[in-house]
Structure 1
Amino acid sequence: MSERFRQAGVEDAERLHEVIHEAYSLIRKLELKWPAANADVSQIRDNIVNNECYVLEADDRIVATITLSKGDEVKAVTEFPFIKWFAVHPGEQGKGYGDKLLNWVETAIIRDKVGAAAVTLGTAEKHPWLLPMYKRRGYETIRAFDPGNGDGTMHLLRKVVDAAAYALSREAAGEVSAS
């Protein structure tokens, strides 16, 4: 089986719509107001054009996707990059594809390409397994808030991907390290 990581192009919009729509069915059942949950092909195309959308292909078929946002969703809270629209097609779940894609984006894109010391993402407390999953992966809540839209408590999470650079950035920001 061959696997390949790459940046998505607009020609991938139809398959990405299928992956995201199927993967986000629980999000719709939970009635969370996440833009990706109800995105149509045009919105998927806009996401590809306006952000950096990455995919994992297995045997030349997209099985997972994640987006590095180019927007300002969290700029008021943190300077670190924000990832969103993470999805693994339900027929491909349990095969490690989500883990592989997230690891690759955290290291090859966030740490090595962007040069950031940490990455952020958001999730809902009421989702039954996302928050615990991200915490097991080393993410920590840096802000919990209720957006007042019915989603309940949302968590902005951060994961350090380059410990030395993170320590230097905190030092430069005037934060005292606990050593």
Structure 2
Amino acid sequence: MGELYRIAAEQDAPRLQQIIYGAYEQIRELRLSWPAAHADEELIRTNIREHECYVLELDGELAATITLSKGEEAKAITELPFLKWFAVAPELQSRGVGSKLLSWVEQEVLARRIGAEAVTLATAERHPWLLAMYERKGYERYRAIDFGNGDGTMHLLRKRLQPQLQE
């Protein structure tokens, strides 16, 4: 299987909208107010233009995406690089595709290119499996926030990418 990791282009928006919409079905069912869960193609194009949106292609087909936020919403809650809009095509979930993309972004983009010591992301406490999934991938809860928007407690999770820099 040919793998290609790259930054997304605006022409990827239609397929990314399908991937994100499908992957975020449970988020909509839980009535969480995450923008990605209801993103149309124009919002996805905006995400691609304003942030660093990465994709993993498998055999020439988009399979997964994750965004390194450049926005003020992330800077308001953390000084660390902030990942968001992580999604894997529903037909490819539970096959390690998302783990490959997440690991690549953590190591190649954040640790090597940016030199980040750690990275953070957020998820909802009431989601039935996301917290546990991220904890299995080495993320640790470090801050709980309730934004008062009906989502309940959101957890910021951090993963140390270069522990030698912490010593």
TM range (shorter): over 0.9
Deviation at 1:74, TM superposition (A): 3.2
Structure 1 residue aligned with 2:116? 116
| RMSD over aligned Cα atoms | 1.0
CA deviation string 1:69-113 (max 9, x = no partner)? 001223244321000000001111121100000000000011111
SS at 2:119 equivalent: strand
Give ranges in structure 1 of 5+ residues lacking alignment. Answer: 169-179
SS at 1:98 equivalent: helix
Structure 1 residue aligned with 2:161? 161
> Could you tell me how far apart the structure 2 residues matched to 1:32 and 1:76 are?
20
- The structure 1 segments of at least 4 consecutive aligned residues displaced by more than 3 Å after TM superposition are none
Structure 2 residue aligned with 1:129? 129
> Could you tell me how far apart the structure 1 residues matched to 2:18 and 2:134 are?
24
> Could you tell me how far apart the structure 2 residues matched to 1:24 and 1:87 are?
7
SS at 1:5 equivalent: strand
> Could you tell me how far apart the structure 2 residues matched to 1:74 and 1:18 are?
25
Deviation at 1:125, TM superposition (A): 0.5
Deviation at 1:28, TM superposition (A): 0.3
Pick the structure with greater CA Rg: 1
SS at 1:148 equivalent: coil
Percent identity over the alignment is 58
One-letter identity of the residue aligned with 1:34: W
One-letter identity of the residue aligned with 2:84: K
> Could you tell me how far apart the structure 2 residues matched to 1:138 and 1:92 are?
22
Structure 2 residue aligned with 1:152? 152
Moved more, 48-57 or 136-145: 136-145
Give ranges in structure 2 of 5+ residues lacking alignment. Answer: none
Structure 1 residue aligned with 2:91? 91
One-letter identity of the residue aligned with 2:3: E
SS at 1:85 equivalent: strand
Structure 1 residue aligned with 2:21? 21
Structure 1 residue aligned with 2:63? 63
One-letter identity of the residue aligned with 2:29: K
One-letter identity of the residue aligned with 2:158: R
SS at 2:21 equivalent: helix
